């Protein structure tokens, strides 16, 4: 139905004023502190890289960034809080593929949808992953580890940051592919997992080959059995890939991204994107990434959205084959 001329003019004027107001709001952004939610306990990779980026981003935006660790349930509590926040650019979150992808596949009644309920900002890091065991485990290869686990009658355990965490799914996939006999112990973050593996309270874990972990490898307290990478890692040149170890097409790579609630104004998303992508090139930030064996990523919001979608498609049949269905 066509509107009368005067109504059409008023409607067009209202739309124009709304657009101008939104643009002015975006240009003024930010005018108050921003809450930056971290879904895991302090000390893990997600926490460390966020804190490495934090000072430069606060300086670039001219407002305080209030870091808030909310560790619980593989990052899902934090992600749900962000999904329900106002989409005004004053709540952002560092999330990994646990909350931004795997959660949708493992929790049938998840209260948020990773593709629908977040505004992707940029990828922060790509993470190569390796299988580590405590020195008390006598195995020197994946095959020996599998055989040793069977001889222990279910007494071996491993840790990861909650049900549905990528490192938990990696181990469950390895169990299915090889017959590994090992029990899962959930934690609120990966740093306590690392500490308990070093102390011998855990037998195994999947994790990034950070400098913290590599120093323990060099000291002989833990051992790397295989890497979930296409080629051997520079930092673990003597460690086989899973392909070399006889476990073909084994996927366990992690990634970390920055998101906000769905519906954030495009200008604000792109402001955050530009600032963070620039910060990822800073030498001091690069040193932190190198210590964690993480690769700075960057890229557009659309590239992060595509990564989330593509991983959902790729992992859906894997998770279904494992029969994992968790209660939120």
CA separation for the pair 80, 64 (Å, rounded): 23
Q: Can you tell me whether residue 36 is helix, strand or coil?
A: strand
pLDDT reading at 72 higher than 90: no
CA separation for the pair 117, 279 (Å, rounded): 26
Q: What is the pLDDT of residues 293-304, one digit of tens each?
A: 888 999 999 999
Domains of the chain in start order, with CATH, are 33-125+253-322 (3.40.190.150), 130-227 (3.40.190.10)
CA separation for the pair 193, 110 (Å, rounded): 25
pTM: 0.80
Rg of the chain over CA atoms, in angstroms?
22
> What is the model's pLDDT at position 7?
55
Three-state SS letters, 146-184: HHHHHHCCCCCEEEECCCCCHHHHHHHHHHHHHCCCCEE
CA separation for the pair 162, 217 (Å, rounded): 24
Edge to edge, what strands does the sheet with 157-160 contain? Answer: 183-186, 157-160, 204-207, 130-134, 222-227
Which helix (H) or strand (E) covers residue 28, if one does? Answer: helix 5-28
> What is the model's pLDDT at position 40?
85
> What is the model's pLDDT at position 44?
83
CA separation for the pair 142, 147 (Å, rounded): 9
Q: What angle do CA 120, 122, 123 make, to 5 degrees?
A: 110
Whether 64 contacts 58, CB under 8 Å: yes
Question: Residue 177: pLDDT band by 50, 70, 90 thresholds?
Answer: very high
Least Cα distance to 201 among 241, 157, 170 occurs for 157
Q: Which residues, in sequence order, are CB contacts of 293 under 8 Å at separation 6+? A: 127, 128, 208, 209, 210, 211, 214, 233, 235
Strand partners of residue 90: none
Which helix (H) or strand (E) covers residue 195, if one does? Answer: helix 190-199
Strand partners of residue 65: 34
Characterise 227 by phi-psi region: left (phi > 0), alpha (psi -120 to 50), beta (else).
beta
Whether 66 contacts 51, CB under 8 Å: no
Q: Quote the tokens at residue 284.
A: 């001091």
pLDDT reading at 3 higher than 70: no
> What is the model's pLDDT at position 4?
55
The single residue listed with the structure tokens 């051997």 is: 232
- For residues 166-185, average pLDDT: 94
Q: What angle do CA 189, 250, 150 make, to 5 degrees?
A: 75
- pLDDT over 90 for what percent of the chain? 73
284-294 burial: b if 16+ Cβ within 10 Å, else e? ebeebbeebbb
CA separation for the pair 28, 6 (Å, rounded): 33
- For residues 87-104, average pLDDT: 93
Whether omega for the bond prior to residue 30 falls within 30 degrees of 0, making it cis, is: yes
Q: What is the pLDDT of residues 20-42, one digit of tens each?
A: 444 444 569 999 999 999 998 88
């Amino acid at each position: 139905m066509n509107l009368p001329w005067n109504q059409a003019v008023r409607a067009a004027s209202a739309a124009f004023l709304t657009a101008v107001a939104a643009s002015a709001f975006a240009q003024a952004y930010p005018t108050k502190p921003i809450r930056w939610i971290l879904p895991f306990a302090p000390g893990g990779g997600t926490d460390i890289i966020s804190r490495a980026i934090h000072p430069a981003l606060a300086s670039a935006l001219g407002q305080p960034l209030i870091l808030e660790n909310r560790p619980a349930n593989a990052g899902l509590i934090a992600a749900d809080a962000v999904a329900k926040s106002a989409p005004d650019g004053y709540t952002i979150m560092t999330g990994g593929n646990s909350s931004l992808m795997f959660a949708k596949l493992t929790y049938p009644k998840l209260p948020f949808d990773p593709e629908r309920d977040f505004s992707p900002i940029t990828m922060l890091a790509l993470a190569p992953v390796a299988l580590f065991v405590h020195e008390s485990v006598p195995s020197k290869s994946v095959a020996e580890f599998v055989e040793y686990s069977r001889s222990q009658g279910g007494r071996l355990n491993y840790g990861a940051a909650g049900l549905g965490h990528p490192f938990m799914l990696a181990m469950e996939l390895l169990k299915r592919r090889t017959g590994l006999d090992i029990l899962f112990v959930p934690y609120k973050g990966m740093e306590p997992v690392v500490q308990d593996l070093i102390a011998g309270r855990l037998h195994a874990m999947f994790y990034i080959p950070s400098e913290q972990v590599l120093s323990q490898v060099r000291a002989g307290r833990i051992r790397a059995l295989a890497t979930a990478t296409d080629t051997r890692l520079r930092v673990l040149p003597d460690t086989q890939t899973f392909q070399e170890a006889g476990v073909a097409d084994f996927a366990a790579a992690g990634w970390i991204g920055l998101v906000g609630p769905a519906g954030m104004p495009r200008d604000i998303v792109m402001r955050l994107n530009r600032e963070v992508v620039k910060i990822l090139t800073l030498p001091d930030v690069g040193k932190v990434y190198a210590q964690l064996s993480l690769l700075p990523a960057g890229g557009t919001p659309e590239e992060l959205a595509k990564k989330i979608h593509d991983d959902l498609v790729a992992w859906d049949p894997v998770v279904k084959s494992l029969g994992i269905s968790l209660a939120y």
